[in-house]
Chain A
Amino acid sequence: MATNGIGSSVKRKEDLRFITGSGRYTDDIQLPHQAYACFVRSPHAHATIGSIDRSAAEAMPGVLGVFTGEDVAADGLGGLICGWMVKSKDGSPMKAGPHPILAHGKVRYVGDHVAVVVAETLQQARDAAEAVIVDYGVLPAAVDVAKTHDSGIEIHTDIPNNLVYDWEIGDKAATDAAFANAKHVTRVELINNRLVPNAMEPRAALGHYDAGMDAYTLYTTSQNPHVARLVISAFVGIAPEHKLTVIAPDVGGGFGSKIFIYAEECVCLWASKKVRRPVKWTADRTEAFLSDAHGRDHVSVAEMAMDENGQFLALRVNTKANMGAYLSTFSSCIPTYLYATLLAGQYKTPAIYCDVQAYYTNTAPVDAYRGAGRPEATYLLETLVEECAKDMQLDPAEIRRRNFIPKDAFPYQTPVALQYDTGDYEPCLDKALELADYAGFPERRRQSEAKGKLRGIGFSAYIEACGIAPSAVIGSLGAGVGLWESAKVRFSHTGKVQVLTGTHSHGQGHETTFAQLVASKLGVAYEDVDVIHGDTSKTTVGMGTYGSRSLAVGGEALVKACDKVIAKGKKIAAHLLEASEQDIVFQDGNFSVAGTDRSKSIGEIVFAALVPHNYPPGLEPGMEETAYYDPANFTYPSGVYICELEVDPDSGVVEIQKFTAVDDFGNVINPMIVEGQVHGGLAQGIGQALLENAVYDESGQLISASYMDYTMPRADDLPSFVVHTTAGTACTHNSLGVKGCGEAGAIGSPPAVMNAVADAIGTRISMPATPEKVWRALQKTQLAQAAE
């Protein structure tokens, strides 16, 4: 194996610019004569907009323009869209209220965009924004997803009960029948707490209208600039697609929150034409809290029917999902096709039924956040399974083992639409038990008790559907786009390679992994491969990065482009070597005549293609190949996580002692990067379980809108992790055998932590398990015991 090849932990190409402060994020870009935008945001969760008096603001120093929803409407712009049509049980389409880029007539959450001020300097824009007077007619707000249905509050006109859709999946009759005959039923009620993604780089946008070229450029913090180009041109209607370039330069983390098309980036682009200046906006952190799409926020009831041996017979789930005030770009598919389809987990439960009611509330829009539906499914299922084990007096590892889909059952058709191509769950469980030293837990618990501490251990066996997504499948389920990926491999005269991908890297290290991949496939030097992404004027089309899709879909497109290079190279080699094309073999960067020592290096072949003095007649010169890849199925990474923690009963403080993660990601290109992805996911999942919570008060004010109020995981909140990636089972339907690794940590870890907390304190509490909540639960238990 080459030292930089597939399977090698190559240090990242992108790091030099980041460690020296030479990265180029959106806010770092300065265009000549750039102006600054500041948004006037609603202080109310729900209100009508009467008059907007902008005269004082317009008269302030440096102000170039003040624009409102009336101006947007006057220019005939469309609104933001939700690109996935979900249908209700009765076949009716979901109810999507209008989502204008500046509010028109009404505001629907605190932070809703009411007006924008554009000025010479940021301070002038901020000062003038304070002088815009908006006449609000405050309305009662619906905030709690469990109460919005009967609140009597109408958030969008003609959408009764604020119900977006009432959707179902699975066989209800078969599930109900299994429950009727079950020996035992275990039931849990769960809240999946609302989170704010909190990429460290706040969202930013810099719009530029070039009057001379009648062309638009938008620099923006996006995970998928091509989809932004599509939505802004086809739906918002600011610029025709061929006259719009969207550039997502270095992006400082996304975690889903930068997939979506947001009002601010549209407004900056639109306003640039109005003031004939480039217009920049960068969110401050509180704006990010208020207006970035949030994640999770489910209220669920789940029941498992079992036989006398703890075999799962059927699973029945009802979930209420909070969509916020508007449907964000992919929001509708998160609590449906990315959630309920994962409820089989790693288990051969024969009957599953789930129905989901999605509601509008007067809160920020909710959409995909790292894992997107799959963490919600895993938290629900793995909490329920742990409670099943308790009820049946079975070891939590044993009940899982008893119900795992056996290795020989793959491909396995679940009762909730998905077909798992491959998997082998017991080895991951065994490895996790070994690494966590499960056998030694009782002794460690005794040692904790001797110190006056409560020790607990918790399990989670997760599955996820990644490599999003097979277009035909998602098309049949209501998706508005195809989710293939494109790749281009192009050579220059000197044999250097540029790789263009439609995926986007915002921390994942594609510049390294993709270079390893192409260098390995084409036998060129790793140093000679440069990966280009994030610019719609360079990569023609693409679908971006989310759903752990970049390698499994984008990487496979790259393989196909490399295959085309090799196929063309064989024609050229056959000509130069005076042999039949069928006799040319390609290996390690050399085209050879089989069974001879005659060969040409790929560098010589590329040179011949670009200086075609001696060249196959009829063959086009040049060496630049484009490929598209549309996957045949999702990929199904899986793993087992074990959390062991200690609770101080006097303070309620939870301290994780050891976190063990064993993942089957199929084949791995760069183990160092993969492990880093797991670490980050674990921190986010542990953050959800112990620390993070987005809290709205009853009037719809976000009372956790800064890092003083929203508890981000910090270095001293977390342990070092025990991470083990098994060779496991390679994906069967892509040539790389890869599955994706970006979301696993965030999907698998919350139930492991919460199961461990429940094990330690003897009662189940909701996330996040803050010291106060843990302490109160312990007091309650002790009071109950004292009363007995």
Chain B
Amino acid sequence: MTSVTMTVNGKAVTRDIEPRMLLSTFLREELGLTGTHVGCDTSQCGCCVVHVDGDSVKSCTALAVQFDGASVTTIEGLGQNGTLHPMQEAFRENHGLQCGFCTTGMIMSSVDLVKKAKEQGITIDEHYVREGLEGNICRCTGYHNIVKAVIAGAQAM
């Protein structure tokens, strides 16, 4: 067993874990943060995306011990003080979700995508969003309303 300490959604946590434990398992099983989903185990689908020190990371193919000392934000920590993040609100307003399973990872990826675009002065249009979300698979929506949601969320961010 190995001790790992990180800040998750603003709170310091320490756990003794098996070194082979994935970050997604750590969040879901050790911390009960089940909003992070596992859809493929191979970094392909993006259901498990969280933010580590401000960057999006696919937590199903990263070991928890890699992130000792890091600051992790999950979907549960995205909203502040009980209000929704503008991207969460945009997904609801634009019917950017159906079954909800990919949604949490999709929102986490979208927030990072928009943040990076704004930092780099990139125009957030349909092409940019579609290319940028290539690492997140949704089987329900056909992406049509997700793209609308991300563009709307970007404007509100």
Question: Which residues of A does B touch, CB under 8 Å?
Answer: 11-12, 14-25, 27-28, 30, 123, 198-202, 250-253, 255, 284-286, 506-509, 672-673, 675-676, 679-684, 706-708, 712-716, 718, 720-721, 745
Q: Please tell me if the beta carbons of A18 and B137 are within 8 angstroms of each other in the complex.
A: no
Do the beta carbons of A20 and B88 come within 8 Å of each other? yes
Query: Cβ of B59 < 8 Å from any Cβ of A?
Result: no
Q: Is B146 an interface residue (CB 8 A)?
A: yes
Contact check, A252 vs B145: say whether CB atoms are below 8 A apart. no
Say which residue of B35, B38, B100, B133 sits within 8 Å of A14 (CB atoms).
B100
Residues 88-121 of B, flagged 1 when their CB comes within 8 A of A and 0 if not, give: 1101110101111111100100000000000000
Q: A21-B34, A255-B139 are in contact. Are A715 and B129 (CB under 8 A)?
A: yes
Which residues of B sit under 8 angstroms from A720, Cβ to Cβ?
Answer: 126, 144, 147
Cross-chain contact B134 with A714 (CB below 8 angstroms): yes
Binary contact readout B37-49 vs A (1 if CB under 8 angstroms, 0 otherwise): 1111110110100
Q: Which of B32, B100, B139 contacts A23 (CB 8 A)?
A: B100
A27 and B75 CA atoms in complex are apart in Å by 17
Q: Which residues of B contact A718 (CB under 8 A)?
A: 130, 142-144
Docked CA distance A284–B40 (Å): 7
The A/B interface has a contact count, at CB < 8 Å, of 178
Are B79 and A200 within 8 A (Cβ)?
no
The main secondary structure of chain B at its interface with chain A is loop
Q: Please state if B93 and A21 are interface contacts (CB–CB under 8 Å).
A: no
Which B residues from 127 to 154 make CB contacts under 8 A with A?
A: 129-131, 133-134, 136-147
Alpha-carbon separation in the docked complex, A737 to B35 (Å): 38
Whether B42 lies near A680 (C-beta < 8 A) is no
Given contacts A16-B92, A21-B74, A707-B40, contact A679 B144 (CB under 8 A): yes
What's the interface size class on B, roughly?
35 or more
| Chain A residues within an 8 Å CB radius of B36 | 21
- Which among A199, A712, A715, A745 has the highest number of chain B CB atoms within 10 Å? A715
CB of B95 within 8 A of CB of A672, answer yes
CB distance from B136 to the nearest CB of A (A): 7
Interface hub of A17, A27, A202 (most chain B Cβ within 10 A): A202
Inter-subunit contact A715/B133 (CB<8 Å): yes
**23 A–B pairs (Cβ distance < 8 Å), ordered by A:** A11-B92, A12-B95, A18-B104, A19-B100, A21-B33, A21-B36, A21-B104, A30-B32, A198-B139, A200-B138, A202-B39, A252-B99, A253-B99, A285-B40, A676-B140, A679-B142, A680-B141, A681-B142, A683-B142, A683-B143, A715-B130, A716-B133, A716-B134
Known contacts A15-B97, A20-B88, A253-B98; is-contact A680 B139 (Cβ 8 Å)? yes
Task: Give the distance in Å from the alpha carbon of A250 to the alpha carbon of B146 in the complex.
Answer: 20
Interface hub of B39, B42, B45, B97 (most chain A Cβ within 10 A): B39
B53 proximity list for chain A (CB < 8 A): none
Q: Cα distance A675–B134 when bound, in Å?
A: 23
A-B pairs, 6 with minimum CB distance: A21-B35, A252-B101, A18-B100, A683-B142, A507-B99, A707-B44
